[in-house]
Amino acid sequence: MIHTGSRGFGHQVCTDYLDVMQKAVRKYNIELPDRELACAPFNSPEARDYLASMRAAANYAWANRQCITHWVKECFMKILNTGPKSIGMNLVYDVAHNIAKVEEHIINNKKIKVVVHRKGATRAFPPGHPELPDVYKHTGQPVIIPGDMGRASFVLLGTEKGMKESFGSTCHGAGRVMSRHQAIRQAKGRSIWKEMEEKGIIVMATGRSTLAEEMPEAYKDVSQVVEVVNNAGLSKKVARLRPMGVIKG
């Protein structure tokens, strides 16, 4: 499992367009229940510019994952002294999170075209959905939920109930319980990489603060989060993955 995105690029797009959207709310006289729901009409210049920037960030993220996937395969081939055909490493699924998609959903018994902006969430379409590739038409969309570097990650499948109750969406991770600054303070005096090594997990990072920000305690227990998702019927649990190696940029 490779979990990476557009890094600072996506963050910058978000920062830039929050200001643009807050001005658009006043410009188009939009009433909001919460100021953080800042938005603009879909056909407005502000919305078109935002979507173009967001798609550029998503394209960067896809290219990033493709490059990393290629290098991972090269490493396995080198260590096992084998070729690409015999290694049997095929991409199962590549999916974005934190992205806006134009979709059709049933609202008040009517099929309506809407923009679903999944922030902290990922698509989880059910079996038979027309936008799924043929290989997953009968199972539903693979839902990849990465956990923290010390515990687990999960693969689930989208469900019909999730389509009705959450616009075909499921969480894309466990979610933080500490801010990055809090985690760095909590990790003071500890050796996070040694703690991971004792669990059989190999960790590489650009610095101590990077590991501290991402230490397991900084996140909710993903197993509990996935259990809630599974029991609520938003997605169906399929596989639990245990971390062996983690690289943090």
Which residues are annotated as catalytic? 172
Query: Which tokens go with 97?
Result: 């999170």
Distance CA 147, CA 152 (A): 5
* Number of neighbouring beta carbons within 10 Å of residue 43: 7
Closest CA to 46 of 23, 13, 15, 29: 23
The H-or-E segment that residue 113 falls in is: strand 110-123
Residues with Cβ within 8 Å of 78's Cβ and at least 6 positions away in sequence, in order, are none
- On whether the CB atoms of residues 96 and 62 are closer than 8 A, the answer is yes
